[in-house]
Chains A and B, each alone.
Chain A
Amino acid sequence: MQPQQAPNPPAAMLLEGMTLDGGWKVRKRLEKPLDATGGYFSCGYSVECEDGRKGFLKALDYSRAFFQTDKPISVALQELTESLNFEKYVLARCRDRRLDRVVISIADGTVEVGQPGIGTVEYLIFEFADGGDLRKQMSVVNNLDFLWRLKMLHHIATGLYQLHQQGIAHQDVKPSNVLVFGDGLSKLADFGRAACRGQHPPHEEIDVPGDVTYAPPELLYRCPDPDWEKRRFSCDAYLLGSMVVYLFTGQAMTALILSEMSHDHAQWQFYDGDFADIKPYLVDAFGRAIEKFSQHLPGKLAPHLVEIVRQLCTPDPERRGHPRERVPKGRQFSLERYRTTFDLLVKRAEVGLFGPIP
């Protein structure tokens, strides 16, 4: 009887200590285990360049294609490749257009690790966010620091606005995808589940492309608008509103809405009806969720934020967006007004209009 050999670890997990093209030295593999964080399976490393720059490396694990049981290996491999190429395309576009509120890649390439089987690892290197993600920042920020929260919202709104201008919808805006940098800037990260006008990545047909626990109700209840623009950009509008809710309550709007519904109606996993059937319950629960949200806001700031969330998170996508943008064709989900509103609120907060600055 032959002794059983331990399975080889995926090649993507063996990059520690390697030096990559451009002089990037791979340091420590990050705590987060190999997992699906975007459109494909990957793991992360901290990297450092010879010139002192720091970065975050995302290594693609092709070996996972062999363990996917729901599709042939060739299809799985093709999808992984297409997903990576799509993300590279989006990142290149963001870089070319000099978008400054999204995390762009600063290098990419492939490396051989000498592993039997698939020994080639494709990677992307991103700017390093020394502040971590929004969740980490929330752990250290004073509960009463409204200025910081408004700044974050302004950055997120600007990032989304910049993406929309390029025909890109992020679709997965959530605290772990908002990275904070040393200078206090925050940027949107992870385009693994983005959508881009004219492109057809493998995740295009998935009901909920992003994190389902943050998803807008029409996607959660499997009733997306057939119109590409509406479906994609209304999702981002909702997610921006949900970030407002998150920054003041610690919860996503989706959780708040579902918490106000009956147990039966909140079971979106089993829903097989039309959106019109669930919509009245969502609209009603949303009203109560807004009421709950408003209780967490400081008096003078409350009317502004409540109105913004009401417009962005309404469960009825037909009514979503700024009322003045609903009539001009194609501008219903424009985030321009919200970007400027958050900017204005930041300025007001800076002079203490919403209370003392901690």
Chain B
Amino acid sequence: MSAPLDDKTRAVLPRWRDLGTTLSSGELDFVRETRVERRPDIDFLSQKIRDWEAKRTVPFAADAVGAAFVLGRGSEATDAAEFLLSRSSDIPQATLDIAARVLIGPKGAAENSEPEETDVQAIRGRIHSLRKRLHDEPANAFLWVELARRYASLGFNEQGGRAIQIALYLAPNNRFVLRAAARFFHNGGDARRAHDALKASEVTRRDPWLLAAELAVAPLAGRTSSFVKGARSLLAGGGHSAFQLTELASSLATLELESSNTRVARRLFRQSVEDPNDNSVAQARWASQFGVIEVDERLLETPRSYEARSWHAYQVGQWQTALSEAWLWLKDQPFSSSPAIHGSYTASVFLQDHQEATRIALAGLRANRRDPKLLNNLVFSLANEGRLDSADEFFDAIDPSTLDDQGQVVHLATSGLLRYRRGDIAAGRGFYLAALEKAAALSLPALRAMAALFFAGEEARARSPQATEIIRLALDLGRNRTEPDVRVLTDRLKLNDGLHGGS
């Protein structure tokens, strides 16, 4: 059987994007409680503009435009900027770029641009060019982070780890570096190290973005955050914009929800979406299933909310949208297994598009070669495509010792599937029954129902004499359940009435 992505727990782990995208999101803006402007003791710009007006040649115009740009007073040099742009053919591009910036203001935020290509060749090419730049700029911490991200996207965690370590050494208190490091270590299964990196920084206690990450990572590392009190007072302090506090409010709300302080959680979740980012929207979407917040369509328009949109589409039965958003989510966070698990499950179970499920599972496996859920979902889709040898190969790559309770049930069911498809019905039945038993023992009724429904599908497909009995059992277990996957498989089983089967 295919394994769904766990939606019962979610932490506000930092997103990890390339620097340009992260900068344009505003996540790296300085957190200032006050804005005091410092003015130079001499008005250099007025002198340069007078010189330009007297001479009216390119170098004087360029001097005035450059000064206006540095001083943030572009409106005073529009005449010079227009002059330069009107004579662009013999003017250096650097000057033209600055003249354009003076006329049109700061670069437009590229928040709505799609994530970069995750094709292996494209990533390798990017690694090559980053290494080349690092040869000239070894002290550029951000380049090391970018390199680590690309390595992580290809599953080269050792090389990625080295790059992250260098970045941490170069900029131990930088928000971008620390959040990337936390995400990297967590992704590599070392939540304690992720927490150590955040806790060790002297700026974490006063930086809302780092505090949010620390609050999210501490429980995953099996620790209690020592910054909760500080985080509460920072939230209540009123010195920061709603956007700067969005993840912190979301992280704190999650802790309160997990401590059953529903009232406080509700208030904090509401605060978190006052001016949200995609991460706090995804968290709000997750929290909505517990009734503490409602997520309206407007929130889903928040740039890069692929995760939230994919889950939302999943919940309202728009499977194709759920899948396409999962693809974007994977491109956005290519080192993460979650989008590919979610996408492959959606493609297989709801759309019965096993080729697409195979494709997204393989894409996710690039970064997480040993992820048991991804391997399982790949095996499921390959088996349904009839590629049994490949399915067996990937099934053997699953390390049973890494499986959680749910994973053990799924593993037994998938073993059953492979046996059925090889024609060994008795063995297949044995594995499925073991899966049902295990799910019952672990009190996982929804999973038990799903295993039974897949089991019934295989029985029907094999035209087994016991098919009717198993179908009845599956329909019984699926009755009154509200999960979309159980509902869809139940309806499909009813429709096929055991005549055509298919999983």
Known contacts A255-B66, A295-B93; decide if A250 and B59 are in contact (CB<8 Å): yes
Is A18 interfacial (CB-CB < 8 Å)?
no
A284 touching B44 in the complex, CB below 8 Å, given contacts A135-B60, A263-B106, A296-B94:
no
Q: Are A212 and B40 in contact (CB under 8 A)?
A: yes
Complex Cα gap A284–B63 (Å): 24
Distance, CA A238 to CA B93, complexed state (A):
22
A208 contact set on B, CB distance < 8 A: 40
Residues on the A chain within 8 Å of B69, using CB: 255, 258-259
B50 touching A33 by the CB < 8 A rule? yes
Q: Is the CB of B59 within 8 A of A263?
A: no
CA distance A27 to B493 in the complex (A): 103
- In the assembled complex, the Cα of A292 lies from the Cα of B94 at a distance in Å of 7
**Is the CB–CB distance between B54 and A31 below 8 Å?**
yes
Across the interface, do A212 and B63 meet the contact criterion of CB distance under 8 Å? no
Binds B, one of A110-118, A152-160, A268-276: A268-276
Among B43, B98, B177, point to the contact of A280 (Cβ < 8 A).
B177
From A32, A213, A248, A283, contact of B44 by CB (8 A): A213
Q: Is B254 an interface residue (CB 8 A)?
A: no
B98 to chain A: which residues have CB within 8 Å?
251, 255-256, 259
* Nearest CB of chain B from residue A257's CB, rounded to whole Å: 9
Answer yes or no: A85 CB below 8 A from chain B CBs: no
Greatest chain B CB density within 10 A among A134, A135, A295, A316 is at A135
Instruction: Establish whether residues B32 and A213, one from each chain, have CB atoms under 8 Å apart when the complex forms.
Output: no
- A290: chain B residues at CB < 8 Å are 136
The answer to whether A250 and B137 touch across the interface, beta carbons within 8 angstroms, is no
Q: B37 to A269, Cβ gap below 8 A?
A: yes
Cross-interface CB contact of A263 among B48, B107, B174, cutoff 8 Å: B107
Q: Are B92 and A287 in contact (CB under 8 A)?
A: no
Q: Are B140 and A283 neighbours in the complex by a CB distance under 8 Å?
A: yes
Interface pair A273/B92, CB less than 8 Å apart: no
Which residues on the B side are within 8 Å of A32 (C-beta)?
47, 50-51, 54
Given A135-B63, A249-B92, A280-B170, A259 contacting B39 (CB threshold 8 A): no
Residue on A with the closest CB to B46? A35
Q: Which of A222, A251, A255, A287 contacts B136 (CB 8 A)?
A: A287
B174 adjacent to A277 (CB under 8 Å): yes
Closest partner residue, chain B, to A276 (CB atom): B173
Given A271-B30, A280-B177: A296 touches B70 (CB 8 Å cut-off): no
Is A165 in contact with chain B by the CB < 8 A criterion? no
- Known A175-B63, A258-B69, A272-B32; judge A249-B95 contact (CB<8 A): yes
Does any Cβ of B come within 8 Å of A88's Cβ? no
Tell me, yes or no, whether A267 is within 8 Å of chain B by CB: yes
Q: Mark B25-44, 1 if CB is under 8 A from A, else 0.
A: 01011101001111111111
Chain B residues lying within 8 Å of A276, measured Cβ to Cβ, are 171, 173
Whether, in the assembled complex, A319 has its beta carbon less than 8 Å from a beta carbon of chain B, the answer is yes
0 or 1 for each of B58-82: is its CB under 8 Å from A? (1 = yes)? 1110110011011110000000000
Residues on B with C-beta less than 8 A from A277 are 30, 173-174, 203
A130 CA to B187 CA in the complex, in Å?
A: 67
Within the assembled complex, what's the spacing in Å between the Cα atoms of A29 and B139? 51
Beta-carbon contact of A206 and B41 below 8 Å: yes
A136 — which chain B residues lie within 8 A by C-beta?
55, 57, 59
Contact with A along B9-37 (1 / 0, CB 8 A): 00000000001000110101110100111
A255–B39 Cα distance when bound, in Å, is: 17
Report the nearest A residue to B90, measured CB to CB.
A143
Q: Helix, strand, loop or mixed for chain B's interface? A: helix
A254 at the interface (CB under 8 A from B): yes
- Residues of B with C-beta under 8 A to A145: none
Q: Which of B26, B32, B41, B59 has the most CB of A within 10 A?
A: B59
- A74 CB-CB contact with B under 8 Å: no
B30 touches A284 (CB 8 A): no
Query: Does A353 make an interface contact (CB < 8 A)?
Result: no
B129-188 residues with Cβ-Cβ distance < 8 A to A are: 133, 136-137, 139-143, 170-171, 173-174, 176-177
Query: Chain B residues with Cβ under 8 A from A287's Cβ?
Result: 133, 136-137, 140, 143
Which residues in chain B, 168-212, are within 8 Å of chain A measured between CB atoms? Answer: 170-171, 173-174, 176-177, 203
- Quick one: which of B26, B35, B47, B92 contacts A250, CB cutoff 8 A? B92
Interface residues of A in 22-60 (CB under 8 A from B): 31-33, 35-37
The size class of the interface chain A forms with chain B is: 35 or more
B101 interfacial contact with A, CB 8 Å: yes
A179 within 8 Å of B (CB atoms): no
B456-493 toward A: CB 8 Å interface, digit per residue (1/0)?
A: 00000000000000000000000000000000000000
Tell me the smallest distance from the CB of A33 to a CB of chain B, in Å.
Answer: 7
Let me know if B91 is at the binding interface, CB within 8 A: yes
Is B97 interfacial (CB 8 A cutoff)?
yes
Q: Which residues of A280-302 have CB atoms within 8 Å of chain B's CB atoms?
A: 280-281, 283-284, 287, 290, 292-293, 295-296
Question: Any chain B CB within 8 A of the CB of A2?
Answer: no
Categorize the interface residue count of chain B.
Answer: 35 or more
Whole-angstrom distance between the alpha carbons of A131 and B472 in the complex?
99
Which of A212, A265, A281 touches B70 (beta carbons < 8 Å)?
A212
Residues of A within 8 A of B41 (CB): 206
Residue of A nearest to B170 (CB): A280
Pairwise interchain contact A251-B23, C-beta atoms closer than 8 A: no
Whole-angstrom CA separation of A175 from B67 in the bound complex: 12
A126 CA to B24 CA in the complex, in Å? Answer: 50
> What are the interface flags for A180-199 relative to B under an 8 Å C-beta threshold, 1 for contact and 0 otherwise?
00000000000000000000
Contact A175 B42 (CB under 8 A): no
Q: A265-B30, A280-B141, A287-B143 are in contact. Are A213 and B37 (CB under 8 A)?
A: no
Report Cα–Cα, A109/B20, bound state, in Å: 58
Min distance, Cβ A268 to any Cβ of chain B, angstroms = 8
**Complex Cα–Cα for A135 and B23 (A):** 35
| Cα–Cα distance between A248 and B342 once the two chains are bound (Å) | 53
User: With A259-B101, A270-B36, A277-B173 known to touch, is A139 a contact of B30 (CB < 8 Å)?
Assistant: no
Counting CB contacts under 8 A, is A164 at the interface? Answer: no
Q: How far is the CA of A251 from the CA of B99 in the complex (A)?
A: 11
Report the Cα distance A36→B43, complex, angstroms: 8
- Nearest CB in chain B: distance from A125 CB, A: 22
| CA–CA, A292 and B97, complex, Å | 10
Closest to B107 in A: A263
A259 to B63, CA, bound (A): 15
Task: Return A35 CB to nearest CB of chain B, in Å.
Answer: 6
Residues of A within 8 A of B137 (CB): 283, 287
Q: Which residues of A contact B63 (CB under 8 A)?
A: 135, 175-176
Asked, given contacts A250-B95, A271-B30, whether A262 binds B59 with beta carbons under 8 Å apart, the answer is no
With A32-B50, A206-B41, A259-B98 known, 20 other A-B pairs at CB within 8 A are: A139-B59, A175-B59, A175-B63, A208-B40, A212-B42, A212-B44, A213-B44, A213-B48, A213-B70, A251-B94, A259-B69, A265-B28, A270-B32, A270-B38, A272-B36, A277-B30, A280-B171, A295-B93, A296-B92, A316-B139
Please name 30 pairs of A and B residues whose Cβ atoms are closer than 8 Å in the assembled complex, sorted by A.
A37-B47, A135-B55, A139-B59, A139-B60, A143-B90, A175-B63, A212-B71, A213-B67, A213-B70, A248-B92, A250-B91, A251-B66, A251-B94, A255-B69, A256-B94, A256-B98, A259-B101, A269-B71, A270-B32, A270-B36, A272-B36, A277-B173, A277-B174, A280-B142, A284-B143, A287-B133, A287-B136, A292-B97, A296-B94, A319-B139
Chain A residues close to B by CB (< 8 Å): 31-33, 35-37, 134-136, 138-139, 143, 175-176, 206-208, 211-213, 222, 248-252, 254-256, 258-259, 262-267, 269-273, 276-277, 279-281, 283-284, 287, 290, 292-293, 295-296, 310, 316, 319
